[in-house]
Amino acid sequence: MKLILFLLATLLVFAQRTGGVQPDGIRVIVMGIAQDGGIPHIGCSQKICRTQHHFVSSLAILDGDSVYLIDATPDLREQYSELIKRHAGLAKENLFDGIFLTHAHMGHYTGLMYLGKESLSTNKVPVYCSLEMSAFLKQNAPWSLLVSNSNIELHSIPPDGEVKLGNVSVTPFTVPHRKEFTDTYGYLIRGKTKSLVFIPDIDSWEPVRDSLVRWLQNNDLALLDGTFYSGAELPGRDIRLVPHPTIQNSIRYFQSLPRFKAAIYFTHLNHTNPLLDSDTPESKAFASTLFKIATDWQEFIL
């Protein structure tokens, strides 16, 4: 009997390590926490870039044997490799069962290049995005080749248009962000028992105040834009040209809102953000708040 129990336990551990057994609920995995340029940042010689590595911000959603991606980053090749090391049973020819895109800034869609004929040459991977993002991909090379060669299959979804995928649903909503090319989506991910709001990029919270109150009151988790800690991080550059709510201001703003239940994690951190270094005064002050910084490969069960 002891031998049988030992063998069963061994098989269970092996299955979990190889991805053969998934926990109950939807698993959302943080595939990176860095701003579009990644960490180390090109041309950066400061301590963070010498001592740390963080992939560009994106999420993987695991529902049984299905894998969905939110934002295809320039780090996608390495991110996918690490994901499959951790969940080997989820490897598949097309990589993902679907990809959701937030907008057309470099850190959020350029990983699609690995789906083309120069690389994997996938077959009709569903790509969900706004109508503007869909038009951008169709009308601009080299992305238009992904469409004409059937490497991807575009699905335009309107704001608040829920996409149901097995045990998970993904609903986009529009947020204000620099509109050089397309509009910008955030996403609400609903699992079996919990829900998560993902907004890696936004210019300001004030234009969406009423919606923000609902998002934070009605959902369990929120991964939000934490690009800069303060407005003093880009000496020699006008930070107003790259608008993001600083973490300092976001904390004050969130504390002014009606009481909410969502646990807030900041993501999409620039390499200048002092919260990346636990020894800075800013990190020590931040540790005394109820807010958190998302970590690479952190998992949430929904």
For residue 60, give every residue at least 6 positions away whose Cβ sits within 8 Å of its Cβ, in sequence order, or none. 28, 29, 31, 67, 68, 69, 70, 83
Q: 68, 165 in Cβ contact below 8 A?
A: yes
For residue 267, give every residue at least 6 positions away whose Cβ sits within 8 Å of its Cβ, in sequence order, or none. 30, 33, 57, 200, 223, 224, 225, 226, 293, 294
0.95 exceeded by pTM:
no
Q: Distance between CA 102 and CA 129 in Å, rounded?
A: 7
Residue 53 has pLDDT above 90, yes or no: yes
What is the arithmetic mean of pLDDT over 271-283?
95
And the tokens for 276? Answer: 């990346």
Assign 14 a pLDDT band (cuts: 50, 70, 90).
Answer: very low
- What is the identity of the amino acid at 197? V
And the tokens for 6? Answer: 């030992």
Strand order in the sheet with 66-70: 152-156, 125-129, 98-100, 66-70, 58-63, 27-32, 299-301
DSSP states along 211-268: HHHHHHHH-SEEEEE-S-SSTTSSTTS-GGGS----HHHHHHHHHTSPP--PEEEEE-
Q: 167, 195 in Cβ contact below 8 A?
A: no
Q: Distance between CA 302 and CA 60 in Å, rounded?
A: 13
Question: Which one, of 226, 233, 227, 215, lies nearest residue 292 by Cα?
Answer: 226
pLDDT at 12: 45
Count other C-beta atoms under 10 Å from residue 98's C-beta. 20
- Could you read off the pLDDT of 67-123 as tens digits, one per residue? 999 999 999 999 999 999 999 999 999 999 999 999 999 999 999 999 999 999 999
Share of the chain above pLDDT 90, in %: 85
Residue 18 has pLDDT above 60, yes or no: no
Question: Which one, of 65, 51, 131, lies nearest residue 96 by Cα?
Answer: 65
- Could you read off the pLDDT of 104-117 as tens digits, one per residue? 999 999 999 999 99
- Could you read off the pLDDT of 168-206 as tens digits, one per residue? 999 999 999 999 999 999 999 999 999 999 999 999 999
- Could you read off the pLDDT of 122-131 as tens digits, one per residue? 999 999 999 9
Assign 25 a pLDDT band (cuts: 50, 70, 90).
Answer: confident
Q: 225, 214 in Cβ contact below 8 A?
A: no
Average pLDDT of the chain to the nearest whole number: 91
Which CATH code fits 23-295?
A: 3.60.15.10
What is the arithmetic mean of pLDDT over 41-63?
96
The residue among 46 and 298 whose pLDDT is bigger is 298
pLDDT at 234: 72
| Domains in the chain: boundaries | 23-295
- Could you read off the pLDDT of 205-223 as tens digits, one per residue? 999 999 999 999 999 999 9
